[in-house]
Structure 1
Amino acid sequence: MDNALFVGLSRQMILRREMEIIANNIANMDTAGFKVESMMQKTDPSEPAVTLGGPRPVKFVAPDGVARDFGQGALLKTGGELDMSIEGKGFFQVQTPQGARFTRDGRFTTDPTGRLVTQAGAPVLDASGGEITVDMEKGQVSIGADGTMSQGDEQVGKVGMFAFANPGALEKAGDNLFRNASNLSAEPSVDAKLRQGFLENSNVKPVLEITRMVEVSRAYEQTAKMMDSEAELARRTVERLGRVQ
């Protein structure tokens, strides 16, 4: 296989990964707090497979990580007493068996012991990193813009909202959660406001994602045609050399 086919193959591998990311975006367009992702690429200079007066080095296509747009999604009113959304920059912090995780998904409920938890059962943490317990028999829960939870005149907790100076420090950890993959510390978010009875929609734009999907599909087909042309050219060249000999 010559250099052109190697380069084409590297391009197809990137396009396939990009298609997977786009498909994941579309699949999560209705997932609360989901953040749209896109593929980043770079050139990877490498020594050519065969040197026939061609360029040195040959530049292959290589992945360069996944970009994530943490922009605000639209807020959807649900009226749920424990449904919460963050307006502005910030994340809820939850505790999992693997450690602290962060999310924008505010579909919270209570477990049998009264702890405020995610849909997966992970405890939601307060501003100081502790668990929040609510006795639903004490009456309706009201939540202020700063995260303060009250039942009547009694304050029962304060939902923590945390921010990072560089959101790029966060990596996906499954279940719509992120983990801190850096040495940066999560700081209390001073600008974020909590909205009770609302959920944040994903910031996926379906029309844009479908357009990207069509573009990636066409690019894949064009790369395949280029590789077929190169293979046909090589075949004809071998045939002609055989006639000369």
Structure 2
Amino acid sequence: MWRGLYIAASGMITETKHTDMIANNLANASTTGYKRDDMAIREFEPMLLRRINDNSADTKVTSFKGFRVEGNRAPIVGTLGLGSAVDEIATEHLQGAMQTTGNTYDFAISGQGYFVVNTIDGPRYTRDGGFYRSTNGTLLNMRGQEVLSSRGRSIRIPENAQRVNVSSDGRIYADGAEVAQLGFVQFAGKNAVIKQGDNLYRPQEGARPQQATGTIEQGMLEMSNTSIVTEMVELINNYRVYEAGSKAVQTQDTLLDKAVNDVGRTS
């Protein structure tokens, strides 16, 4: 009975974490460049169950409908699951929808690639291309962090520039003259970068950036690849699984109560 409580409780804990992940996806359904997360759940090693006191093939139980036991081993009942746990939370790097804004400093990435921004922890990477030019001409993201060039330096747009254009590979032109090139990189393997928070990614140990193969679209933003309908359906299913685990815990608790107070009662 104690095992049943732990098995059901482990499933409830797993589904609680699953709910948190779905809630985060829904909260970022309108976040520029956000990539939804998905969860892989693993089962604990199952236990093989056999009937007890059925070691003889001549007993009535094991002889039922011609059933026989091989050797002296008890017949197999089946396997018993021992709970579940979160195996991995993976990020889906599918392309989000493009939205035209017409703003000069809005950039969307089509294909693979990340912009590079400077943080207190060092260079970090993002798909959010909603930038703006500060009063001194520095190109910043919406959190006030500097957008870095391909040389790892801050980018300054001349204050008197009338027309700013960006090529598909990130070269910035002010009135026809090239002033810098956006840091535009990618990594080998989808798991080379992990989420840090604030729509930023940090590289895994040993991961090295290389020139991105995607293209940059000026005057556009990449939307989140989260589908609200899909997440809501998954949330409802998640709730039902959690509810089933809750009822299993209540059932186990009732059985334990009867075992202690009724079966174990002495006259």
* TM-score, normalisation: structure 1: 0.91
Deviation at 1:230, TM superposition (A): 1.4
Residue identity in the other structure for 1:103: T
Deviation at 1:227, TM superposition (A): 1.2
2:221 paired with 1:221: no
Is the 1:170–1:182 Cα contact (8 Å) retained in structure 2? no
Is the 1:127–1:188 Cα contact (8 Å) retained in structure 2? no
Structure 1 runs not aligned, ≥5 long: none
Residue identity in the other structure for 1:26: L
Deviation at 1:184, TM superposition (A): 1.2
Residue identity in the other structure for 2:11: R
2:203 paired with 1:184: no
Identity across matched positions, percent: 30
* SS of equivalent to 1:223: helix
1:58-97 paired onto structure 2 within 5 Å: 59-97=82-120
| Matching residue of 2:222 | 200
Structure 1's 6 and 22: CA in aligned 2 closer, same or farther, altered over 3 A? same
Cα deviations by residue, 1:82-122 (Å, 9 ceiling, x for unpaired): 00010001110111111110000000012232111111111
1:35-114 paired onto structure 2 within 5 Å: 35-45=35-45, 59-114=82-137
| Matching residue of 1:32 | 32
| Distance in 2, Cα, partners of 1:126 & 1:181 | 21
Structure ID, larger Rg: 2
| Distance in 2, Cα, partners of 1:118 & 1:227 | 49
**Count of paired positions:** 240
* SS of equivalent to 1:38: strand
| Distance in 1, Cα, partners of 2:80 & 2:241 | 24
1:152-167 paired onto structure 2 within 5 Å: 152-167=175-190
Residue identity in the other structure for 1:40: A
* SS of equivalent to 1:215: helix
* SS of equivalent to 2:82: strand
| Matching residue of 1:169 | 192
Structure 1's 58 and 211: CA in aligned 2 closer, same or farther, altered over 3 A? closer
* SS of equivalent to 2:143: coil
| Distance in 1, Cα, partners of 2:26 & 2:210 | 31
2:156 paired with 1:123: no
| Distance in 2, Cα, partners of 1:14 & 1:71 | 25
Structure 1's 209 and 58: CA in aligned 2 closer, same or farther, altered over 3 A? closer
Please report the RMSD computed on the Cα atoms of aligned residues, expressed in angstroms.
2.3
Is the 1:45–1:57 Cα contact (8 Å) retained in structure 2? no
Residue identity in the other structure for 2:12: Q
* SS of equivalent to 1:204: coil
Is the 2:107–2:216 Cα contact (8 Å) retained in structure 1? yes
Deviation at 1:213, TM superposition (A): 0.3
| Distance in 1, Cα, partners of 2:222 & 2:216 | 11
* TM-score, normalisation: structure 2: 0.83
* SS of equivalent to 1:64: strand
| Distance in 2, Cα, partners of 1:161 & 1:82 | 15
2:4 paired with 1:14: no
2:261 paired with 1:239: yes
